């Protein structure tokens, strides 16, 4: 039995992906580095409903100074965060001399807009390479991990924050008690701690099994986040479903008793009551993962036997789970194209598939491309329209294996 990282309750394992590498630890082909692997299994806490991994990878392994992910690589995400910044500037940051703090600001995709608006701000992120990019765009950023002491230190040095925001980061952090303690120390009276992360309901419903990888330590839902916030002295006061990354949820939390929850919280709790509170729902997801994975390997193997060329598109963190769980290496997918300079010339973790710039995609076009960055499908398919016009076909493996 494993104890819940949030409440200490009983976590029931529902799927084991086996030995997996650190999803963003792209390999330098010239170096003799030994790769780190760990057992990636997920479970459901029957006490507080939090879906979580059974083993934790240390934060220094997942988020080293040269962490390669760059948020600004997607036009859709740039628009999403620009709209988010506008909303914050018109609401929580509309008062006199507001102060905004962002946990996991990466390359400043959102923080840049706050900075350009002339609002006092501070980002906190350990990924020094990404932080340099944010600073070059005029953002104030502190290198390092946010935790309780960071919140206390920022409050002492710069005063209270009206808004603490974090996107696609809080669910990556096992030590959430420390994050909420830091938020409590730093928030102004009536201030809010808002975070958005992939939504467990979308992941289960659509069998997005590749959303399970080291960084996604928790898969948040409305019920589990409400319980978590309560445990750490906060109320969940609003939720908003977002279309990005295949489905995400924005959670607004405030110190207990400071704000009245909106109807959306109760509405989403009712939705989850019907579909996410039974262990069997998660076990059925596990069965579908096996079916989809087998179908993907069978498709790639038969295409190879027919002499068709297949490459990958988007060396996402998600692709680590797919390639390593399915046992897909360069013999089935000789390379993956990716627009991130920090990933090009490297090999995918574990599966060791070379990563090439997008220019390699059309040189010549393959017969098929596995779209690992399916969350950016509309943007990538529009950009690569000529591939379809040249009779190329996209292979998707969620919600099931299909060709478009
Ligand atoms: N917010 C961006 C977005 O939504 O695209 C970046 C998301 S990226 C997946 C997660 C970021 O959180 C990384 O840049 C990582 O370095 C940072 N991070 C991880 N743990 C953190 C912590 N405890 N405090 C601050 N940043 C953290
Ligand atoms: P993400 O799913 O974690 O956001 O990662 C998306 C990956 O896909 C990232 O490595 C960048 C890459 N990508 C491209 O290669 N071309 C594109 O047009 C987009 C939007 C992303
Ligand atoms: Zn629990």
pLDDT 10s digits, 141-167: 999 999 999 999 999 999 999 999 999
Q: What is the DSSP letter of 118?
A: T
The confidence score (pLDDT) of residue 33 equals 74
Report the interhelical angle of 176-186 vs 222-231 (nearest 10°): 60
- 191: exposed, middle or buried (Cβ count in 10 Å: 0-12, 13-18, 19+): buried
187 in Cβ contact with 160 (< 8 Å): yes
Mutating to test ligand 1, I would choose from 77, 82, 125, 166 the residue with most ligand atoms within 8 A of its C-beta, which is 125
Q: For tokens 């949820």, what's the residue?
A: 249
Q: What is the pLDDT of residues 346-390, one digit of tens each?
A: 999 999 999 999 999 999 999 999 999 999 999 999 999 999 999
Instruction: Provide the 3-class DSSP secondary structure of residue 52.
Output: strand
Q: CATH fold of 145-275, please?
A: Rossmann fold (3.40.50)
User: What is the model's pLDDT at position 375?
Assistant: 96
Q: Indicate if 281-403 has the same CATH topology as 145-275.
A: yes
* Minimal-distance CA residue to ligand 1 atom 21: 145
Domain extent listing, the chain:
145-275, 281-403
pLDDT value of residue 279: 96
Please report the atom of ligand 1 found closest to the CA of residue 106: 14
ipTM confidence: 0.97
Would you say the CB of residue 125 lies under 6 angstroms from ligand 1?
yes
Kindly tell me if the per-residue pLDDT of 32 is higher than 80. no
Measured in angstroms, how far is the CA atom of residue 362 from the centroid of ligand 1?
33
- Distance from the CA of 301 to the center of ligand 3, in angstroms? 41
Nearest to 14 by CA among 197, 174, 212, 147: 212
Cβ atoms of 153 and 122 within 8 Å: the answer is: no
Per-chain mean pLDDT for the chain? 97
What pLDDT, on the 0 to 100 scale, is given for residue 333? 98
Q: In what order do the strands lie in the sheet with 99-103?
A: 141-143, 120-125, 99-103, 161-167, 187-198, 248-255, 234-242
pLDDT, tens digit, 9 for 90 and up, residues 264-298: 999 999 999 999 999 999 999 999 999 999 999 99
Tell me the chain's radius of gyration from C-alpha atoms.
Answer: 21
316 C-alpha to ligand 2 centroid (Å): 6
Ligand 1 atom, smallest distance to 124 CA:
25
Whether the CB of 63 sits within 6 Å of ligand 1: yes
**Does the domain spanning 281-403 belong to CATH 3.40.50.720?**
yes
Res. 31: pLDDT tops 90: no
Q: How confident is the model at residue 136 (pLDDT cuts 50, 70, 90)?
A: very high
Helix (H) or strand (E) holding 276: none
Cis peptide before 284 (omega within 30 of 0): no
Q: How far apart are CA 159 and CA 338, in angstroms?
A: 41
For the segment 62-85, the average pLDDT, to the nearest whole number, is: 97
Structural element, H or E, at residue 29: none
CA angle 47, 48, 51 (to 5 degrees): 110
The share of the chain scoring above pLDDT 70, in percent, equals 100
pLDDT of the residue at 312: 98
Measured in Å, residue 11 CA sits from the centre of ligand 3 at: 7
Residue 339 Cα, ligand 2 centroid: separation in angstroms?
7
Atom of ligand 1 nearest to the CA of 71: 5
Ligand 2 within 6 A of CB of 52: no
- 379-388 per-position pLDDT tens digit: 999 999 999 9
Whether pLDDT at 248 is above 90 = yes
């Amino acid at each position: 039995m494993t104890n819940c990282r949030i409440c200490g309750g009983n976590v029931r394992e529902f799927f084991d992906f086996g030995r997996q590498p650190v999803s963003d630890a792209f390999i330098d082909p010239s170096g003799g580095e030994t790769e780190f692997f760990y057992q990636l299994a997920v479970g459901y806490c029957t006490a507080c409903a939090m879906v979580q991994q059974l083993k934790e990878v240390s934060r220094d392994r997942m988020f080293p100074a040269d962490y390669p992910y760059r948020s600004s690589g997607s036009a859709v995400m740039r628009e999403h965060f620009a709209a988010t910044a506008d909303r914050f500037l018109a609401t929580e940051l509309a008062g006199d001399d507001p102060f905004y703090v962002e946990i996991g600001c990466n390359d400043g995709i959102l923080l840049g807009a706050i900075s350009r608006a002339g609002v006092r701000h501070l980002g906190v992120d350990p990924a020094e390479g990404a932080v340099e990019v944010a600073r070059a765009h005029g953002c104030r950023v502190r290198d390092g991990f946010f935790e309780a002491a960071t919140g206390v230190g920022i409050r002492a040095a710069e005063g209270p924050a009206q808004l603490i925001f974090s996107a696609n980061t809080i669910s990556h952090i096992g030590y959430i008690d420390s994050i909420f303690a830091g938020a409590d120390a730093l928030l102004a009276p009536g201030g809010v701690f808002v975070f958005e992360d992939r939504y467990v309901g979308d992941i289960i419903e659509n069998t997005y099994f590749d959303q399970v990888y080291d960084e996604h330590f928790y898969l948040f839902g409305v019920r589990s986040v409400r319980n978590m916030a309560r445990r750490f002295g906060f109320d969940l006061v609003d939720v908003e479903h977002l279309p990005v990354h295949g489905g995400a949820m924005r959670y607004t939390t405030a110190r207990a008793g400071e704000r009245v929850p909106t109807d959306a919280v109760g509405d989403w709790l009712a939705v989850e009551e019907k579909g996410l509170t039974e262990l069997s729902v998660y076990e059925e997801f596990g069965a579908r993962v096996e079916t989809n994975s087998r179908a993907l390997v069978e498709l790639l193997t038969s295409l190879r036997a027919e002499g068709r060329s297949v490459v990958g598109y988007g060396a996402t963190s998600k692709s680590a789970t797919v390639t390593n769980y399915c046992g897909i290496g360069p013999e089935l997918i000789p390379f993956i194209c990716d627009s991130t300079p920090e990933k090009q010339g490297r090999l995918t973790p574990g599966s060791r598939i070379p990563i090439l710039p997008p220019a390699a995609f059309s040189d010549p076009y393959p017969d098929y491309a596995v779209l690992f960055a399916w969350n950016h499908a509309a943007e990538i398919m529009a950009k690569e329209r000529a591939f379809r016009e040249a009779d190329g076909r996209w292979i998707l493996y969620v919600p099931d294996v299909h060709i478009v």
